[in-house]
Amino acid sequence: QSKKEGRNRYCWFDPAMEVEARLRREMESAIRKGLENGEFSPHYEQQIDLETGKLVGFEMLARWNSPEMGTVSPEIFIPVAESCGLIGPLSQSLIASALRDAQSWDPSLTLSVNISSMQLRDPWFPQKLLKLLLSSDFPAARLDVEISESCLHENLTAVQTMIVSLKNIGVRVSLDDFGTGFASLAQLRTLPFDRVKIDRSFVGELRRVAEAASDGTGADDQQEHIVNTLVSLGRGLQIPVTAEGIEDTSILDTLRTMGEMKGQGYLYGKPEDAAAVLKRLTELDMLAERAAPINDDEQ
């Protein structure tokens, strides 16, 4: 009995916890250093109008190219940056780079950025964003701010106020990871989102639906119903829909039976850096018009 209590008392010094805490501190200082050394860069994933197949914009996804660890996923470093208070500076520097990159894109193209729950709680965030927009001379209407559904379990009134403030500076606001979180119908109705993005965990399942249909087993179409329901939910609320995680044409074909929407996913390409985007846009003839060519001036 007393032996057991003794052990419990010492669980404060659990070596696994010590190691975890140390790793965390190390990663924190690596993030701080990486931020100074420009190791973080925006990558871009294409967004397509599924009806026309045309490129309509890009979603910026953060990448960390660490000299020690190689390419680190945002799923790892964003939570650490949040917990050590670096998410603000990190995100602002990434958004600033993205706005600069997007200046060379055709003005029809939009830019989507993800923000974290901590930024959502910063009452100055819309002001900071506006400052970035003004200093890069990027029209607010071309910027789309994505808020994950997982943020909606927090103070809903605060989230609502934030969405309204963001819309007041002229940007659009999308609900990301739709279907995975806690949003109730009632909440969705009160939150003025401009778009919902159906999470790729549902969209990806559509491939199995297509496979089942083609091998004649007529397997269950539950997954298709789920995606259809999420699409209809958006439609019912009169909010446009984006499907993410489109990995092959069978998924695309199924989605296209569900009506008008935008989409993105590996079918169109993996997220790529600014230079690769420029190359793509050159091929598509979708670069921003620069100053008039020299011969024009001479004539």
Nearer to ligand C2E, 118 or 278 (CB): 118
Partner from ligand C2E, Mg ion, none contacting 61, C-beta within 5 to 8 A by type: ligand C2E
Single out the segment in contact with ligand C2E by CB under 6 A; choices: 2-10, 125-133, 135-143, 258-266.
258-266
Using CB under 6 A, which residues numbered 29 to 48 contact ligand C2E? 45
DSSP string, the chain: -HHHHHHHHGGGG-HHHHHHHHHHHHHHHHHHHHHHTT-EEEEEEEEEETTTTEEEEEEEEEEEEETTTEEE-HHHHHHHHHHTT-HHHHHHHHHHHHHHHHTTB-TT-EEEEEE-HHHHT-TTHHHHHHHHHHHHT--GGGEEEEEEGGGGGS-HHHHHHHHHHHHHTT-EEEEEEETSS---HHHHHHS--SEEEE-HHHHTTHHHHHHHHHTT-----HHHHHHHHHHHHHHHTT--EEEE---SHHHHHHHHTT-S-EEESTTT---B-HHHHHHHHHHHT-BPP-SPPHHHHH-
Closest residue to ligand C2E using C-beta atoms: 265
Find the binder of Mg ion among 101, 149, 176, 224 (CB under 5 A). Answer: 176
Selected from 177, 193, 245, 254, the binder of Mg ion by CB under 5 A is 177
Task: Provide, rounded to whole angstroms, the least separation between the CB of residue 229 and ligand C2E.
Answer: 19
141 CB-near residues (< 8 Å, 6+ apart): 170, 171, 172
101 binds Mg ion (CB under 5 A): no
196 touches ligand C2E (CB under 6 A): no
- Residue 110 binds Mg ion, judged by CB under 5 A: no
Residue 115 makes contact with ligand C2E by CB under 6 A: yes
Q: Of the listed pieces 5-13, 124-132, 146-154, 156-164, which binds Mg ion according to CB under 5 A?
A: 146-154
Part of the chain binding ligand C2E (CB under 6 A), chosen from 2-10, 18-26, 30-38, 241-249: 241-249
State the nearest-atom distance from the C-beta of 180 to ligand C2E, in Å: 9
Q: Could you say which residues in the range 160-189 bind ligand C2E, by CB under 6 A?
A: 176-177
Residues that bind ligand C2E in the complex, under the rule CB under 6 A: 45, 61-62, 73-75, 78, 91, 94, 114-116, 146, 148, 176-177, 200, 244-247, 264-266, 271
Residues that bind Mg ion in the complex, under the rule CB under 5 A: 114, 146, 176-177, 244
